[in-house]
Amino acid sequence: MALYPLKFEPLLKSKIWGGTKLGTFYGKVIEGHCHVGESWELSGFGNEQTVVTNGFLADNELGELVEVYMAELVGEKVYETYGDEFPLLFKLIDANDNLSVQVHPDDEVARELHNANGKSEMWYVLHAEPGAQIIAGLKHPMTPDQFKEELDKGNILQHLQTIPVKIGDVINIPPGLIHSLGKGVMVAEIQQASDITYRLYDYDRVDADGNRRKLHIDNALRVIDFDNNHTPLINYTQKNNAAVNIVKNDFFTTNIICFDRTIQRDYSPLDSFVVYMCVAGVCTLRVEDYVMTLKAGETILLPATTEEVTLRPLVHEQIKILEIYI
């Protein structure tokens, strides 16, 4: 039987900084979970596998599908590069409190220290309370010794760049960029399939048992971009009934599609799977004779065999979808 657009059951993650907005905004079933900070929408990472919920492949894990369908699911070049490993991870994140100040390694360091992938990622802001902000980068270049001295003094926040954010903002976070989501911000996150985070500062918080979370100062100092030459906030202009690129790097391309009428997307030239993360509105999605509904807060995987998709709004409003591929 032919492959078709796939929906998955999200994996909900409790975090010390998490809240309830993933339930109230997007209907995620958060009962039984305390402080839900993350919804892993689509994951083939290690043992953290999302499971198909629609069609004849229901109850199969993403990793199992990659093993069986290989290039049909992910694309020839993607399968040649990554094999049975699904290369990306897709999340919704609710920062009910400040996240730790952190940094991620690149592939070279991650493979040396952890035999794992590094982490390049991006955020699309879904919601921001008045006055909400993020941390992204240094205010000025520093040496590692200067940084460590200020960290030891408890002064490091004074040297970090804060950026006010609003709905629709895009933040690109390459390895080495110090960053943190601030209280009251909710984002869609697209990243390499990796869970390596080096915490630098965690606001002296303790868990339910009175323990502080582990910091990773030495590893962080090794990977931080101290030159501070990266501009994290992406400037882009939406176009109605069209796709606009917002992030393109060595690991993924992300476009935003905004539309208020029926449109078609042609993927026949593309040798990759495509992921849709709906961030506003509700629409129908048609691939040949297969039709499904896609609404804000939902994520869909289109197999690499998909040639054309028809998207049609269900109500008279602008629909916004993040379109991601390799």
Q: Which residues of 260-271 are buried (b: 16+ CB within 10 A; e: fewer)?
A: eeebebebeebb
Two tokens, residue 143: 């040496």
Say whether 199 is catalytic. Answer: yes
Length of the chain: 326
User: Per DSSP, which regions of 43-168 are E strands?
Assistant: 44-45, 48-49, 51-52, 88-95, 101-103, 121-128, 133-138, 160-164
Longest dimension (CA), the chain: 63
Partners of 186 in the β-ladder: 94, 127
| 32 φ/ψ angles, rounded to the nearest 5 degrees | 85, -5
For residue 66, CA distances in Å to 117, 149, 165, 180, 273 come to 18, 47, 37, 32, 11
Partners of 90 in the β-ladder: 42, 190
From 111, 199, 213, 265, the catalytic residue:
199
How many whole angstroms from its chain centre is CA 58? 24
- Whole-angstrom distance between the N-terminal and C-terminal Cα of the chain? 25
| 98 φ/ψ angles, rounded to the nearest 5 degrees | -60, 135
Q: What is the DSSP letter of 58?
A: T
- Residues 8, 86 contacting (CB under 8 angstroms): no
Task: Determine how β-strand 299-302 pairs with β-strand 263-266.
Answer: unpaired
Which amino acids are annotated catalytic? 199
